[in-house]
A and B are shown apart, each in its own frame.
Chain A
Amino acid sequence: GENVEQHPSTLSVQEGDSAVIKCTYSDSASNYFPWYKQELGKGPQLIIDIRSNVGEKKDQRIAVTLNKTAKHFSLHITETQPEDSAVYFCAPSGVSSASKIIFGSGTRLSIRP
């Protein structure tokens, strides 16, 4: 079956530094690559996504890069701020997975003041 791996599981960075989280997937038919952010006590929310016809997408301090050949995509957060502290999930999906989406195991990001 499909396999999704997310690394690292925890990440602590100094405020103002950058953070990178990587997601590796096995289903070559995947064509949609989102990142979700879950704050304490809330459900996950989409923060950025990319489709397979694009290599990189940026939205202010957040960017996602995709390497379809190597089957991985990454979340980049620059100039980190305290409000970036949360758990982040990747959830690649595509036509072959029908309505089923497999989430990565999550990365707990902590921003040190």
Chain B
Amino acid sequence: DVKVTQSSRYLVKRTGEKVFLECVQDMDHENMFWYRQDPGLGLRLIYFSYDVKMKEKGDIPEGYSVSREKKERFSLILESASTNQTSMYLCATRTHQETQYFGPGTRLLVL
């Protein structure tokens, strides 16, 4: 079974803090993704990576950066957290057959 884990289920941070969200997968998938999910807006792609040290902007990259130093780990970084980044963050991997596997999500609250 594919396993995608995220470092925290719930996180509370203050405005201006630097926030790291980590995602680890155990199935050697090349492609990894970070989404945010907000009520009424569905899943929106922030960044994705198709290989180690490679990254591509998604639809809403502003205010975020990513790091992929190892194949199994994909980190999302909020350089200076703001209240409008309060959201559910979902990490996913993808096989060559296109199926995506999601982590359980991190619910981030920025005060």
B24 is an interface residue with CB less than 8 A from chain A: no
Question: For the complex, is B34 an interface residue (Cβ under 8 Å from A)?
Answer: no
CB distance from B3 to the nearest CB of A (A): 12
Inter-chain contact A44/B102, CB cutoff 8 Å: yes
Q: 1/0 per position for A36-79, CB-CB distance to B under 8 A? A: 10000111111001000000000000000000000000000000
A99 contacts which of B31, B99, B102, B104 (Cβ < 8 Å)?
B31
Residue in A42, A45, A99, A103 whose beta carbon sits within 8 Å of that of B42 in the complex = A103
Interface of B is mostly: strand
Known A43-B104, A99-B31, A100-B58; judge A89-B43 contact (CB<8 A).
yes
Q: Are B104 and A42 in contact (CB under 8 A)?
A: yes
| Chain B residues with CB below 8 A from A34, complex form | 98-100
Main secondary structure, interface of A, reads loop
Q: What are the interface flags for B71-111 relative to A under an 8 Å C-beta threshold, 1 for contact and 0 otherwise? A: 00000000000000000001010100111111111000000
B98's partner among A41, A44, A93, A104 (CB-CB below 8 A) is A93
Size bin of chain A's contact surface: 20 to 34
Query: What per-residue 1/0 map shows which CB atoms of A75-113 lie under 8 Å from chain B?
Result: 000000000000001010100000111011110000000
Given contacts A43-B4, A99-B31, 16 further A-B contacts (CB under 8 A): A34-B99, A36-B100, A41-B105, A42-B105, A44-B102, A89-B42, A89-B43, A91-B100, A99-B48, A99-B56, A99-B94, A101-B98, A101-B100, A103-B43, A105-B42, A106-B42
List, sorted by A's number, 26 A–B pairs whose CB atoms are closer than 8 Å. A32-B97, A34-B99, A34-B100, A36-B102, A41-B105, A42-B104, A45-B102, A46-B101, A89-B42, A89-B43, A99-B31, A99-B50, A99-B56, A99-B94, A100-B45, A100-B48, A100-B56, A100-B58, A101-B45, A101-B100, A103-B42, A103-B43, A104-B42, A105-B41, A106-B42, A106-B43
Please report A residues at the B interface, Cβ cutoff 8 Å: 32, 34, 36, 41-46, 49, 89, 91, 93, 99-101, 103-106
